[in-house]
Amino acid sequence: MARIAGRPQTFEEMYAVPESFLEIEIRNPMTHGVGRKMYTDYEIVCMTNIPAFKLRHSVVRRRYSDFEAFRDVLERESTRVNIPPLPGKVFTNRFTDEVIEQRRDGLQRFLEIVAGHPLLQTGSKVLCAFLQDPAWDKAQWM
């Protein structure tokens, strides 16, 4: 606004905390189990000052099947919002570092789009719970 008015921005205006922000990072994939019971989960770090979120900083772990359930609930909950697809299922070599990193990157992009949508930020009950509740259970939303 200050630039439109014809004066340069102040230092405080340039570097102050934005009115509202939401930063999400998916990191630290970990593979658990043995044989057919193996799965990989991912750490989701969320930092925000959006009032709809209960916590300003949270860290939770989610596996791919949690993302699938989350996406299904979002589609049912938010009929006015087009929910993007998840990265595809992988059936072979799914525990290689390359495949895990590709999936992590795809899940990161998915969450950035979904969490960045203003209608979902303010109107979705499942979004805040998925990003912040360590006890999130897909069964309670299905």
What is the mean pLDDT, run by run of 10 residues, along the chain of 142 residues?
62 68 92 89 93 91 95 90 88 82 95 89 88 92 81
SS3 content of the chain, % helix, strand, coil (to 5): 40, 20, 40
Pairing label, strands 22-32, 39-48: antiparallel
Q: Please give the domain boundaries of the chain with CATH numbers for all domains.
A: 19-140 (3.30.1520.10)
Instruction: State the pLDDT at residue 73.
Output: 94
Look at residue 17 in the predicted model and tell me its pLDDT.
62
Query: Whole-model pTM?
Result: 0.83
Would you state the pLDDT for residue 2? 42
- pLDDT reported for residue 3: 45
pLDDT at 32: 93
